[in-house]
Amino acid sequence: MDQSSMEVLVFVYGTLMQGRSNHHYLSNSQRLGEGIVQDYQLYHLGEYPGMVPSVGCQVKGEVYRINETTLAQLDELEDEGGEYRRVKMPVTMAAVTLEEVYSYVYQLPVDEEWAVPLRQQPWSS
């Protein structure tokens, strides 16, 4: 089985979302719908957002089924291992929780003034 045929799920919450500047990376992927991640806080970082662990907070975004070639492209876009780290986390969609969904967690310091409350999500620039 080649890399392009293996599929994984990814939760996106910023420029990769439908109608946003980097959505073209997901043009060949299946959008499964909207989702929410628990115990993370969303931050506005200028031209893009980042989320960091924060107990009791939530982040709204979208879930996609992608192939591993697309995942590798997203890793490069998100500077995986640098500015962002790709981790598996549970994502709630309607009444279902998907346990093994990748997303990108911001790794640099944030200022609480940059926090985006749930009522102002999903993020927009």
105 C-beta neighbours (distance < 10 Å), count: 16
Q: How many residues does the chain have?
A: 125
Say whether the peptide bond before residue 53 is cis (omega within 30 degrees of 0): no
78 carries an active-site annotation? yes
Query: Which backbone phi and psi does 69 adopt, to 5 degrees?
Result: -65, -45
| Helix/strand number for the chain, H first, E second | 1, 6
The catalytic position among 78, 83, 112, 113 is 78
So which residues are the catalytic ones? 78
